[in-house]
Amino acid sequence: MRQARVSIDTDALQHNLEVARQTAPHSKIMSVVKANAYGHGVVQVAKALQRSDGFAVACVSEAITLRQHGVTQPLLVLQGALNVTEYRAAGLLKMTLVMHNAQQLAFYTEHTEAQPDLWLKIDTGMHRLGFAPDQVGEVMQKIKPDCSGLMTHFSDADDPQKDETSEQLELFNSLCNAFSLQRSAANSAALLTRPDTHFDWVRPGIMLYGATPLLEGTGSDLGLNPVMTLHAPVISVKNVMAGEAIGYGSDYVASANIKVAVISCGYGDGYPRLAPTGTKVLLNEQHCELLGRVSMDMICVDVTRLEECAVGDEATLWGPELPVEHLAQGVGTLSYALLTGVGVHV
């Protein structure tokens, strides 16, 4: 087992679920737990979020995992079925499949056994998955007996200043008004900023894990609590003299005599390789700075100012006192990428 590790605060998960519920009090909560619950461990997260009205996953295999671990709530498969075998499994295990293309429609028309519940996805402007607006009526005529919901996904809800969300919402409403079916549109960003998108079901994702879904700020700014903390131990402390270089490429050269701690975490553990010198690391309750390049399983940190630093001390790479959003912004990525990336390594 690698020395870098994550800890998951299930109380924070439950708090963030309650924020979602209070923000959308008239909607059911479809908690999004795809990609191993954004790297947090899907079974552990589902148990912590058992007060959810349902769970959304990316694919049928993720839904099967939840059913195998005793999850009984409705399961929404966002990518739908990839083949007839998955389509059949969805019916047997009482999943709800999102239908978004002609091939999946063929699964439906060719399937003679018990049909799974279906939600029809409408492409209102994301141009990723979903039937075009002019196809909705024809498709609904074919699947209406087994379709219980209509859904769409917003492309720009993370930026409340843009007009695209309002345009997509207007189109979605115009198409849904012809059918008396439950609706779902709001992701985390829309849930927090657009009450007019809440409808019957909201689909909180990143906000459940305590990170902001918006372009700026942190989850804490929105009343959310960070769920994941990434820790790693100090494995060496040494003195580096002025003029000596640290790490690959000799990118960092000490301008004075300094003390350096080597921490057992690197890009092999999901820490971003492009984190620059000066990136903050929390060690012994003080912010220290990364020095030189990130290695596969180690980073070097300036601990000159610390009164004490020894092998075995534990550093925090991100967590409640060191928001993952700050690190993500510093390397030009998203908190989503960091959280899901670390989960497969440690």
Q: Out of 142, 144, 238, 248, which one is annotated catalytic?
A: 248
Query: Hey, which residues does 97 pair with through a beta bridge?
Result: 77, 118
Q: Out of 28, 34, 108, 162, which one is annotated catalytic?
A: 34
How far is it, in rounded angstroms, from Cα 126 to Cα 37? 23
Does residue 47 carry a catalytic annotation?
Answer: no
Q: Cα angle at 91 between 123 and 41, to 5 degrees?
A: 75
How far is it, in rounded angstroms, from Cα 267 to Cα 4? 11
Q: How far is the CA of 261 from the CAs of 74, 169, 250, 302, in angstroms?
A: 48, 52, 17, 7
Does residue 34 carry a catalytic annotation?
Answer: yes
How far is it, in rounded angstroms, from Cα 226 to Cα 318? 9
Count of C-beta atoms within a 10 Å radius of residue 322: 18
With beta carbons less than 8 A apart as the criterion, state whether 125 and 171 touch: yes
Task: Using alpha carbons, select from 254, 231, 232 the residue that is nearest to residue 244.
Answer: 254
Active centre residues (catalytic): 34, 248
